[in-house]
Amino acid sequence: MCVTRVVITIFVHRNGKTETATSLDRLWLNPASGVVVWVDLAAPSIPESLVLKDTFAFHPLSVEDAMSPTQFPKAEAYDGYLYVILHGIHFRAAEHRFATHDVDFFIGPTYLVTVHDGDSRSIVDLREHAARNSKIVGDGPVALFHHIVDAMVDHYRPEAESLEDGIDELEDRVFDKPTPELVRQILTQKRDVSSLRRIITPQRDVVARLARRDFVDISTEMSFRFRDVYDHLVRIADDAIMFQDRITGILDAYLSNVNNRLNEVMKVLTIVSTIFLPLMLLTGLYGMNVPLPRLPGGDGAQFWWLMAIGGAIVLGMLVAFRRKKWI
Amino acid sequence: MCVTRVVITIFVHRNGKTETATSLDRLWLNPASGVVVWVDLAAPSIPESLVLKDTFAFHPLSVEDAMSPTQFPKAEAYDGYLYVILHGIHFRAAEHRFATHDVDFFIGPTYLVTVHDGDSRSIVDLREHAARNSKIVGDGPVALFHHIVDAMVDHYRPEAESLEDGIDELEDRVFDKPTPELVRQILTQKRDVSSLRRIITPQRDVVARLARRDFVDISTEMSFRFRDVYDHLVRIADDAIMFQDRITGILDAYLSNVNNRLNEVMKVLTIVSTIFLPLMLLTGLYGMNVPLPRLPGGDGAQFWWLMAIGGAIVLGMLVAFRRKKWI
Amino acid sequence: MCVTRVVITIFVHRNGKTETATSLDRLWLNPASGVVVWVDLAAPSIPESLVLKDTFAFHPLSVEDAMSPTQFPKAEAYDGYLYVILHGIHFRAAEHRFATHDVDFFIGPTYLVTVHDGDSRSIVDLREHAARNSKIVGDGPVALFHHIVDAMVDHYRPEAESLEDGIDELEDRVFDKPTPELVRQILTQKRDVSSLRRIITPQRDVVARLARRDFVDISTEMSFRFRDVYDHLVRIADDAIMFQDRITGILDAYLSNVNNRLNEVMKVLTIVSTIFLPLMLLTGLYGMNVPLPRLPGGDGAQFWWLMAIGGAIVLGMLVAFRRKKWI
Amino acid sequence: MCVTRVVITIFVHRNGKTETATSLDRLWLNPASGVVVWVDLAAPSIPESLVLKDTFAFHPLSVEDAMSPTQFPKAEAYDGYLYVILHGIHFRAAEHRFATHDVDFFIGPTYLVTVHDGDSRSIVDLREHAARNSKIVGDGPVALFHHIVDAMVDHYRPEAESLEDGIDELEDRVFDKPTPELVRQILTQKRDVSSLRRIITPQRDVVARLARRDFVDISTEMSFRFRDVYDHLVRIADDAIMFQDRITGILDAYLSNVNNRLNEVMKVLTIVSTIFLPLMLLTGLYGMNVPLPRLPGGDGAQFWWLMAIGGAIVLGMLVAFRRKKWI
Amino acid sequence: MCVTRVVITIFVHRNGKTETATSLDRLWLNPASGVVVWVDLAAPSIPESLVLKDTFAFHPLSVEDAMSPTQFPKAEAYDGYLYVILHGIHFRAAEHRFATHDVDFFIGPTYLVTVHDGDSRSIVDLREHAARNSKIVGDGPVALFHHIVDAMVDHYRPEAESLEDGIDELEDRVFDKPTPELVRQILTQKRDVSSLRRIITPQRDVVARLARRDFVDISTEMSFRFRDVYDHLVRIADDAIMFQDRITGILDAYLSNVNNRLNEVMKVLTIVSTIFLPLMLLTGLYGMNVPLPRLPGGDGAQFWWLMAIGGAIVLGMLVAFRRKKWI
């Protein structure tokens, strides 16, 4: 059986050494062979996926799931192997949203088969190490599977942290210089957080099943390791809930800020009007074309008397405002 | 036994071939016969429904449920058969709301009986294929049942997507040109999403029971297939929850937008009043019919001095507003 | 043993016939007698309730519960009989709230004893039919019990529907002519819906236990029937949740409407002020008692020049408002 | 063994009679003795609590819990006895909050030991009756225990009802005369309700365990009685949830009321400004010191022409406001 | 085997005495030795942690967890020992947030190993007492473990109480002198409470498992003690939920307060405008340069007539405002 190298990578571990192979020997799948095989399919097309059906004789349903691009994370025990779908994550800055890519695992007694779209950083990194460090494949299919899952979950943390940085920044800005477009950014941030939660939750549930020993293929020893991965996912999911709380708080703060500024604006308007309207009435009175009551003093004093009355009005107003604690 | 063709369609699969039949042979219901029968009743009236009671001897309760138009989705094991109600969905654009139609399934060892109101796209489509592709009925009643349920659930996805498009549009509009009637559209969208959730949730729970092997009639093999259908429903229900979150966010954005605009309007009013009231006071002062203090310069300069004082006031105000970051 | 007819009604079914009886024969309670008895106590006082203790020898606790007016719905198995409390519902239009009345059931092997306050429509109706249709009592105590419960639950649906009509009306009014007293009506409606939910939920839980075969007295056959009653209650409880969502939406719409109208009012004020204040300043300037700069043209042209300047100001303002999309 | 009477009260029931005793005979604790003992410790200090350790040999942990003032409600089975903590309630009007006092129960085969702070109305009342009515203690320790718990729970109802009265009053006031200090009262009421819920919930859970027969010491017969107590607690907890809903509704109504009044105030301001500013412009125009256009008619008609123009402006404004439904 | 004293502290209890030791004898770990050992590692570096691997032969996974600084609280049974992670708490006033430090416990049949960062007050305190009071270590590893956990949980209470004090103060201030920066403080307080909850909840779940006897190493006797610790944690978690409710109430009160003040400001503006605009119109009328209608009386009376008309207008306005309950 011959495969194109770019798509299918085969690692065989026997006699303590890990080598790449260009074709797959059906004997290796015999549990008695003492061989460990890792077959990685990066973005396989239909002909290349035949290996799953023909050589490994996987159930058609699981092969179909592996070949379709977006599947829900799940773990299912089939006859002779365990089938797991998990999602890798990467933040698409351009579209400002989280993207996920499916990674499919077939874990058998002597082999691990991984199927993905070719972009999985965790698998690409591990492929480079597997040839040099024979222990990676040599520890067995479940340990190898754990290795990849652990690396995938490690990629979630920086994404969560960059989200948190964004929330910290929003919180500072909402108090320092709140602008109308802040609402849009708050909403976007909110959607990102809710999207992170929606991605994390099903992964966490699948890993929980691996940690709970729901599957006989996972030894007690390995289930401890998956428990650690599970703890990481729980913590991120927990963080996401807290992020949502904080964003709600930021929105509340923004709205109360808007209200406070409206209040301040209205106070200025009211103070200005309340001071100037009486003064204008006064000038209006002395602008009337009727004989006006003469104030004490000479002609020149008339104006200054009026100014004094106006000043008294202003002063009275200011005292009243001060008492209301408006100024 | 003779039936009107329009209402009752009978497919019989024997010796590897699927044929339509005009009447039903009671022998076919014998598990030993090796025959698979699919009987489809489209909008049956009382006389036509007698076949359920007389030929199949279904429990009166399940027959009654099948004949009544709106039942809650459920799956119940009766002696010798499994009775399932599921809902098909279609969006009634005119009334702007989701409508559902009941589809009832009686799954026995050799037969599938479907009862619906005649509008089920999934069944109408399958009836056309069943005669040409003998495998459809030949795979057995549970596979046939899965086939129909799968098709029904596939019809949910486009409805959910059109909802999402509507939300995307609302989100754009709330920031671009928010108008009062947007609130009504937000509320309508909200009701649609909540209605979708209410339709999906009980379907999901019924399919979960089929996937969990609660019923002996469902083989492990078939339960895997129902697990896939279940995954689809979970994902749509999940989407609906996220839609609700987004709509709440849109409403928040709308309200904060209204508040911001009120703020902006009030600022303009306050700025205008605060600039013009002092100026008007000045003109009021020099409009008084009392001897006015003479400003430096000749007669012609009087007016321009006042203009200069007014200009200084305006300038002072503008500086103050700039400091408060209002302009 | 002699009882007053108005309070205690006794139906005996033997030899295929149902008759009313004026006194109760203790022999009828023997499971071997082949007799079915229905004893209905409408608003019994203490002496009339002695039949429960003396003839039926019910547990004092259940008799006490039956005699006290408001008990929580529950189902409890006692030695030899099942004791169930359910609530009938009727909407008291005068007080604008839902009222409930307790109906107590003692279901034994040969008898059903019902205790209520005399207002239960379901039981009053059934009493009239029981004498004419011998099957009603003849089907046995559990079927009779189901009959009454089914009728009681059927009375919930119209109440839920009238609530929904009220919500539809509120929704129309909030957009067409929102008035301050609408808030009071929204709150009342909200309380009614929440009250309906609080009534439905415990009934649903009791009927769920009847449907789940928690009690040996309920046969599989009857549990299917109770499952149908349960489905009805689930659907009404579900509707109530949706009603609450809609009312929250209506309140949101009302508040956003109030805000929008405030916005509109403020815009008018701002537009008016912004147009008239500059014009008034202009007139103020030319009202000053200082030598005014002469505008081009003759004496008569002065006024019209000022009008032209004023018109230019108005025009400029209108253009600015149009640009801000205020008008 | 000698005890101070004020703190320790001992009732012994033997040979059908209940008597108080001044000292405790260790023989009475023998299940074979046929004696029932109730020992009540009111606010015991350390030396008085020794009876718990020395005579009854209770586990040190439970004695320590009984002696510490505030413990969480719980029920725990120890060797030979059941240890239960429940809370009595009383509303401290001065501090406007609910206070609780711990009541500790040690229920053994022949005895009930109660420990409390001396303020438990339920126990004080029962102590007075126990001497006169020999049945109270004679019914056995569990019945006596139920008696006290029933009385304690009966004291919850009036507290809940006074809360409800407060909410009714708030609801009336929010529509009749909403004042700013109403918010403070709403918040206080909200805290009281939430406090009631927090007190009720753990009691309910403990009584549920008593009703569920989690403990062998509780007979089926007694568990029915505890089920009734449980029903009461469920109902109060249920009411508390509804109270919270209503208070939220009252706050919403208050805020919408504030908004409505703001709207009304702003409408008045806008109407007044919109009517007077144009009129003032008119007077400003004719106050200008430039040759004014002469209106038709004589000198005296000039003023009235202007008044007519002003009247027309007012009329036009009123029609516009009426059209907008502002007045 | 030699260890640096500052990092590793070893207590050995044998023959009724507790002594510190400088090196660890492997014989002590033999259950038959009758010795109890407590080994405390304060901020160990890699070489110092070798004791965990080499002497105790702990599973590499648990050693790795113990050496990494931030782990989620958990309890896991390994072969021969129980591994528990809990968090100590201290409030970092400078950063205004709760900080936690991991404390790791390895509980074996004859030993307790604790690993922490050196700041755990509970352990530092206990180390001082252990040498003097031989019972502390002598009671066995589980009792010692409980001792430390109890002390750690006791440190949570004052933190919760200082939070409550902060909320009390906020509540007073929101009604007495609400300032815009109050919102920031409310948000900070909210984050602290939510942070406390997030810290408490996992601890509570771990202690619940210890109290539930999920682990055979914990005797019934000790599980009672852990139940008490659990009760404390439940109560604090409960308090945190109530704190959140109260903070939400404070924010609501703040916003309604802002709205009320806006209302008051607007009322003043409206009253002032509504009184002065008509008066200014009056003066405007008599300021017009057209022949004005003569009011009754002489030249001097003209002015006072106008003042009287103005006074009447003011009076009418005040009556209208009083009727609207604005003043």
Closest to D104 measured CA to CA, from D129, D82, D128, D124:
D82
Rounded to 5°, angle at Cα C190 from C184 and C194: 150
Residue A6 has pLDDT above 90, yes or no: no
Cα separation of B105 and A82, whole Å? 33
**pLDDT score at A49:** 82
Tens of pLDDT, residue by residue over D37-81, are: 999 999 888 888 888 888 898 988 889 888 887 788 888 888 889
Answer whether C253 sits within 8 Å of B184, measured CB to CB.
Answer: yes
Residue C126 has pLDDT above 70, yes or no: yes
Enter the DSSP assignment of C228: H
Answer whether B290 sits within 8 Å of A303, measured CB to CB.
Answer: yes
- Residue contacts between A and B (CB atoms, under 8 Å): 115
To the nearest whole Å, the CA of E75 is away from the closest chain A CA by 11
Burial E300-309 (b: 16+ CB within 10 A, else e): eebbeebeee
**pLDDT score at E94:** 67
**pLDDT score at A146:** 94
- In three-state secondary structure terms, A40 is strand
Which residue, chain included where needed, has tokens 């009477």? D5
**pLDDT score at E3:** 41
Answer whether C302 sits within 8 Å of D281, measured CB to CB.
Answer: no
Residue B93 has pLDDT above 70, yes or no: no
Mutation target vs C (from D270, D283, D286, D326; most C CBs, 10 A cutoff): D270
**pLDDT score at E272:** 92
pTM of the predicted structure, to 2 decimals:
0.78
Q: Is residue B160 very low, low, confident or very high in pLDDT (cuts 50, 70, 90)?
A: confident
Residue in E251, E258, E273 closest to A277 by CB: E273
Residue in C183, C284, C292 closest to D284 by CB: C284
Q: Which chain A residues are within 8 Å of B252, Cβ to Cβ?
A: 183, 187, 251
Enter the tokens of residue B102: 């009941």
Give the residue numbers in B contacting A (CB under 8 Å), as ranges: 171, 175, 224-225, 227-228, 231, 234-235, 238, 242, 245-246, 249-250, 252-253, 255-257, 259-260, 262-263, 266-267, 269-270, 273-274, 277-278, 280-281, 284-285, 287-293, 326
CB atoms closer than 10 angstroms to residue E140: 17
Tens of pLDDT, residue by residue over C263-319, are: 888 899 999 999 999 999 999 999 998 888 888 888 888 889 999 999 999 999 999
To the nearest whole Å, the CA of B300 is away from the closest chain C CA by 6
Mutation target vs E (from D84, D85, D283; most E CBs, 10 A cutoff): D283
Answer whether C259 sits within 8 Å of B262, measured CB to CB.
Answer: yes
Q: How far apart are the first and last CA of chain E?
A: 88
Cα Rg of chain E (Å, integer): 36
Residue in E253, E255, E287 closest to D287 by CB: E287
**pLDDT score at C104:** 94
Answer whether E61 sits within 8 Å of A326, measured CB to CB.
Answer: no
From C190, which residue of chain D is nearest by alpha-carbon distance? D249
Q: Which residues contact D68 (CB under 8 A, 6 or more apart)?
A: none
Residue B305 has pLDDT above 50, yes or no: yes
Q: Which chain C residues are within 8 Å of D292, Cβ to Cβ?
A: 303
Helix (H) or strand (E) holding C216: none
Closest to B38 measured CA to CA, from B15, B60, B14, B68:
B14
Residue D5 has pLDDT above 50, yes or no: no
Residue in D175, D238, D252 closest to C198 by CB: D238
Closest to D109 measured CA to CA, from D146, D147, D84, D82:
D82
From C268, which residue of chain B is nearest by alpha-carbon distance? B265
Q: How many CA atoms lie within 13 A of A17 on its CB side?
A: 4
Enter the tokens of residue E294: 């003569």
Helix (H) or strand (E) holding A23: none
**pLDDT score at C93:** 66
Give the pLDDT mean for D176-196: 85
DSSP string, C151-209: HHHHTHHHHHHHHHHHHHHHHHHHHH---THHHHHHHHHHHHHHHHHHHHHHHHHHHHH
**pLDDT score at A291:** 87
Looking at the DSSP bridge assignments, the partners of residue D85 are D74, D104
Strand D36-42, strand D111-116: pairing: parallel
Secondary structure, 3-state, E142-207: HHHHHHHHHHHHHCHHHHHHHHHHHHHHHHHHHHHCCCCHHHHHHHHHHHHHHHHHHHHHHHHHHH
Give the pLDDT mean for C8-33: 86
Q: How far apart are the first and last CA of chain A?
A: 87
Q: Which chain A residues are within 8 Å of B242, Cβ to Cβ?
A: 194-195, 198
To the nearest whole Å, the CA of C54 is away from the closest chain D CA by 19
**pLDDT score at D2:** 41
Residue C130 has pLDDT above 70, yes or no: yes
Mutation target vs E (from A150, A168, A265, A270; most E CBs, 10 A cutoff): A270
Mean pLDDT, rounded, of chain C:
86
Burial C278-308 (b: 16+ CB within 10 A, else e): bbbbbbbbbbbbbebeebeeeeeebbeebee
Q: Is residue B94 very low, low, confident or very high in pLDDT (cuts 50, 70, 90)?
A: low
Burial E35-61 (b: 16+ CB within 10 A, else e): bbbbbbbbebeeebbebbeebbebbeb
Q: Which chain C residues are within 8 Å of B266, Cβ to Cβ?
A: 266, 270
Residue D265 has pLDDT above 60, yes or no: yes
Tens of pLDDT, residue by residue over C180-239, are: 788 888 888 888 888 888 889 889 989 998 988 778 788 888 888 898 899 889 888 888
Give the residue numbers in A contacting E (CB under 8 Å), as ranges: 171, 175, 224-225, 227-228, 231, 234-235, 238, 242, 245-246, 249-250, 252-253, 255-257, 259-260, 262-263, 266-267, 269-270, 273-274, 277-278, 280-281, 284-285, 287-293, 326
Q: Kindly give the residue spans of alpha helices, DSSP state H, lying in D59-140.
A: 60-67, 121-132, 134-138
Q: Which chain D residues are within 8 Å of E175, Cβ to Cβ?
A: 184
**pLDDT score at B311:** 94
Answer whether C263 sits within 8 Å of B268, measured CB to CB.
Answer: no
Answer whether E303 sits within 8 Å of A284, measured CB to CB.
Answer: no
To the nearest whole Å, the CA of D164 is away from the closest chain E CA by 19
Chain centre to alpha carbon of residue E184: 17
* ipTM exceeds 0.85: no
Residue in B265, B288, B289 closest to C263 by CB: B265
Q: Which chain C residues are within 8 Å of D314, Cβ to Cβ?
A: none
Answer whether E281 sits within 8 Å of D279, measured CB to CB.
Answer: yes
Mutation target vs C (from D161, D228, D288; most C CBs, 10 A cutoff): D288
To the nearest whole Å, the CA of A139 is away from the closest chain B CA by 31
Residue in B263, B273, B293 closest to A261 by CB: B263
Chain D neighbors (3+ CB pairs < 8 Å): C, E
Residue in C242, C249, C266 closest to B187 by CB: C249
Q: Which of A96-105, C27-36, E272-281 has the highest mean pLDDT?
A: E272-281
**pLDDT score at A94:** 67
**pLDDT score at E41:** 92
Tens of pLDDT, residue by residue over B256-299, are: 888 888 888 889 999 999 999 999 999 999 999 888 888 888 88
Give the pLDDT mean for A171-185: 84
**pLDDT score at B213:** 77
Answer whether C190 sits within 8 Å of D292, measured CB to CB.
Answer: no
Are the beta carbons of E71 and E85 closer than 8 angstroms? yes
Which residue, chain included where needed, has tokens 């009184």? E275
Answer whether E255 sits within 8 Å of A260, measured CB to CB.
Answer: no
Are the beta carbons of D166 and D196 closer than 8 angstroms? no
Tens of pLDDT, residue by residue over B143-152, are: 999 999 999 9
To the nearest whole Å, the CA of A220 is away from the closest chain B CA by 26
**pLDDT score at A4:** 42
Each of the 327 residues of chain E gets a pLDDT tens digit; together they read 444 446 889 999 988 888 888 888 888 888 888 899 999 999 888 888 888 888 898 988 889 888 887 788 888 888 889 999 999 887 776 666 778 889 999 999 999 999 998 878 889 889 888 888 888 898 999 999 999 999 999 888 888 888 888 898 898 888 887 787 888 888 888 888 888 888 898 899 899 989 887 787 888 888 888 988 998 898 888 888 888 888 888 888 888 888 888 888 889 999 999 999 999 999 999 999 888 888 888 888 888 999 999 999 999 999 999 998 887
**pLDDT score at E93:** 66
Residue in D190, D272, D279 closest to E249 by CB: D190
Q: How far is CA A188 from CA A98, A163, A253, B165, B246, in A?
A: 12, 11, 17, 17, 10
Residue B6 has pLDDT above 70, yes or no: no
Cα separation of E289 and E286, whole Å? 8
Residue in A245, A281, A292 closest to E280 by CB: A281
**pLDDT score at B220:** 82
- In three-state secondary structure terms, B246 is helix
